[in-house]
A and B are shown apart, each in its own frame.
Chain A
Amino acid sequence: MAEEVKLYGTWSSPFSRRIELALKLKGVPFEYIEEDLSNKSPELLKYNPVHKKIPVLVHNSKPIAESQVILEYIDEIWNNNPILPQDPYQRAMARFWAKFIDEKALATRMKANFAEGKERELVTEEFFQQMKFLENELNGKDFFGGETIGFVDIVAIVVAIWFPLTQEVLGVETFTEEKFPVLFKWIRKITEIDVVNECRPPREKHLAYVKARIEGLKSASK
């Protein structure tokens, strides 16, 4: 049967890019539709009426939303180059760290970027603790997935690419190799992988975009 795979996403979203990566890792051909979030398409609203967000994967006309749910679905439908481990304990650990990144690390990082004074100190300390926990998970391995990238690595690309880039735009240096040598070694390894680089936003365009967004957020809060 002809497989029809469509991905509704945006070029700058780490959640969207991780789906592209998973599909490319498994060699799944797909049609990509770039969404304008200020003018969402009727299709997006039809396929994700609950959250109205990207990414949405549509497989043979059936929609799936929420990036981690989509990743697990992709892994179950296309068995080659597995993303999640087989062992239930390892799967639970992978899900735990992926949830930790998306629910804790991202939120803390955002707060740390915009907080001031004493609050900034406290939130930055929280961020350091979280990054230490994550770093400890690598535990001598090349990747969170072991010898090859897996579920946690794919989710953690937001840490590898988006965190340093935002930092560069803000002109701060809190997330450094000095503080997190093991994590930065992982960042170097993962950003050397061709398919990872195929699925990242182009640097100059990304820098300009993040700069504009931060400026927008700063003036909105005044």
Chain B
Amino acid sequence: MANEVVLLDFWPSMFGIRVRIALAEKGVKYEYKEEDLKNKSPLLLQMNPVHKKIPVLIHNGRPFCESPIIVQYIDEVWKDKAPLLPSDPYQRAQARFWVDFIDKKMYDSLRKTWTTKGEEQEAAKKEFFEVLKTLEGQLGDKPFFGGDNFGYVDLSLIPFYCWFYTYETCGKFNVEAECPKFIAWVKRCLQRETVAKALPDGKKVFEFVSAMRTNLGLE
């Protein structure tokens, strides 16, 4: 049966990058379609009428939305290669818990580091470092959140790294100085071809954000 896979995405989206890494880990061939978020395509609006957001995976004509749901679907369908979630139910529950934590805590606090100024920005920075410290604690001495192997939590978290140059420049802080263990984990992830290829260059993301910050009156 024809396996038609299309990904509607936006190049700097950390949520889209998750899906790109997952598809690469499984060796799935797919068509990548870049969306202009200021001018969403009829296809995107048709495939994700509820949220109208990317990423959307379209597999044999059926749409899948929300990156954790898409990644779990990919893991369940292409199950013969590179398992992303652990096989043990308790470890699986822990992996789901940590991706939920990342989604609840990382994105909002990070977004505020480049969309706000002054006191609000300072509070966001503080929150961000607390989140990183919690994640470092969870990582412990393991090479990856998944243990010996790169897995679901790792691939859900690493895409944020391509935004770090932006956060550090706008927020005037340095992650490696505060959280060296975290950056050591980042470097291990970047050694994987699938990750290195999926992450856009941090400076490119910063150029894109700079234009947006100008529009927001922050520069």
Contacts and interface: CB of A to CB of B under 8 A. Distances in A.
Interface of A: 50-51, 59, 62, 64-66, 68-70, 72-73, 76-77, 88-89, 91-92, 95-96, 99-100, 133
Contacts, number: 54
Contact of B69 (A69, A76, A96): A96
Interface in B95-131: 96-97, 100-101
Contacts of A50: 101, 134
Contacts of B100: 66, 68-69
Counting chain B residues whose Cβ lies within 8 A of the other chain, the interface size class is: 20 to 34
Contacts of A95: 66, 69, 72
Contacts of A100: 50
A62 B101 CA distance: 18
Contacts of B66: 95-96, 99
B69 A66 contact: no
B73 A88 contact: yes
Contacts of A72: 92-93, 96
B161 interface: no
Interface in B69-100: 69-70, 72-73, 76-77, 89-90, 92-94, 96-97, 100
Nearest to A89: B62
A62 B64 CA distance: 32
Given A88-B77, A95-B69, A99-B69, A69 B89 contact: no
Contacts of A91: 72-73, 76
Nearest to A99: B66
A108 to B, nearest CB: 12
B72 A92 contact: yes
A96 B70 CA distance: 10
Given A92-B72, A99-B66, A76 B97 contact: no
B17 to A, nearest CB: 19
A73 B88 CA distance: 10
B7 interface: no
A89 B93 CA distance: 20
